Structure 1
Amino acid sequence: MFTYILYGLAGGGLAISFFKDRNKTKMALRKAWRSFENILPQFLSILIIIGLALAILSPETITVLLGTRSGIWGVIGAAMIGSVTLIPGFVAFPLAAALQKNGAGYMQIAAFVSTLMMVGIVTLPLEIKTFGKRATMIRNILAFAFSLIAAFVIGVVLK
């Protein structure tokens, strides 16, 4: 129901904008469409990767590797995978939901998502070039440590 309300509000806002200034509204819709077209290839490729991963890895395998019983090794493994993966946030959260539905634990998902967002192993060369080696290493080490702390807090809170 709430979704329909949001769609109604968005449609109403679009109608008001269209009646107020048709040219600006058309220009905004064109920009929105271009943004959608730019995001779509990444989004589709990630959906394919998620689909293949879920097809290859059974829920039982995901539970063993990333489930609540995988303990500290599951958290560290998820954190390591998240550290070297470069996925945008709008894809990371649906991926986390899919992993959770297939048996991954909250603590492991928290470690994966937080390192995915904060630790940048793939982007290290660019970051070193921009900020310097020392600042980059300190930032990434602290981000990794904070991700582990956040994962354990989530594990305690949601237990």
Structure 2
Amino acid sequence: MFATILYICAGVGLAVSAFKNKKKTKMALKKAWKSAENIMPQFLAIILLIGIMLAVLDTQTITKLLGAESGIMGVAMAAFIGAITLIPGFVAFPLAAALLQSGAGITQITAFLSTLMMVGIVTMPVEIKTFGKKVTLMRNLSAFIFSLVAAAIMGVVL
């Protein structure tokens, strides 16, 4: 129902934009289409990877590795995987939802998502060139620690 409301709002906004200035609206739609074309290959590859992963790993395996009973080792593994993985947010959140539905724990998924979004092991070389080694290491370390704290809080609250 909420998605329908959003689609209606987008349609109304597009109609208002077209009414006010057809040329700018057409240009905006072309830019949006180009952006979608650029994102689509990455998006499809990641969706394929998620599909294969969920097909190979059954619910019991996911629950064993990342379930609530996996404890500190599951949180550490999820945090480590999140820290070394480079996945855009629009793919990470549906992946997290699929993992939760397959038996992963809230604490573990929180650690995965927060390290995925805040810790950049893969992007460290570029960050070191831009900000320096000390700042990069301090930022990544503090982000990793904050992710573990956030995961612990979510585990207690939820």
Q: TM-score, normalised by structure 1?
A: 0.97
Residue pairs, 1:83-94, within 5 angstroms: 83-94=83-94
Structure 2: gaps spanning 5 or more residues: none
Corresponding residue number in structure 1 for 2:58: 58
**Letter of the aligned partner of 1:128 in structure 2?**
I
2:109 aligned partner: 109
Partner of 2:33: 33
Cα distance per residue 1:45-103 (max 9 Å; x no partner):
11001000001100100000000000000000000000000001111100000000000
Q: For 1:65-84, what aligned pairs fall within 5 Å after superposition?
A: 65-84=65-84
Measure the CA separation in 2 of the matches of 1:53 and 1:112: 16
Measure, in 2, the Cα distance between the counterparts of 1:126 and 1:13: 39
Root-mean-square deviation (CA, aligned residues, Å) is 0.7
Partner of 1:3: 3
Aligned partner letter, 1:123: T
Q: In structure 1, what is the Cα distance between the partners aligned to 2:2 and 2:107? A: 29
3-state SS, counterpart of residue 78 of structure 2? helix
Give 1:16 shift: 1.4
Matched residue type, 2:52 = L
Task: Give the aligned residue type for 2:86.
Answer: L
How many residues in Structure 1 have an aligned counterpart in Structure 2?
A: 158
Q: Secondary structure at the match of 1:116?
A: helix
Q: 1:149 — aligned with what?
A: 149
Quick one: distance in 2 between partners of 1:74 and 1:84? 16
Q: How far off is 1:15 after superposition? A: 1.1
Which deviates more from structure 2 when the two are superposed, residues 17-26 or residues 96-105?
17-26
Cα distance in 2 for residues equivalent to 1:2 and 1:49: 28
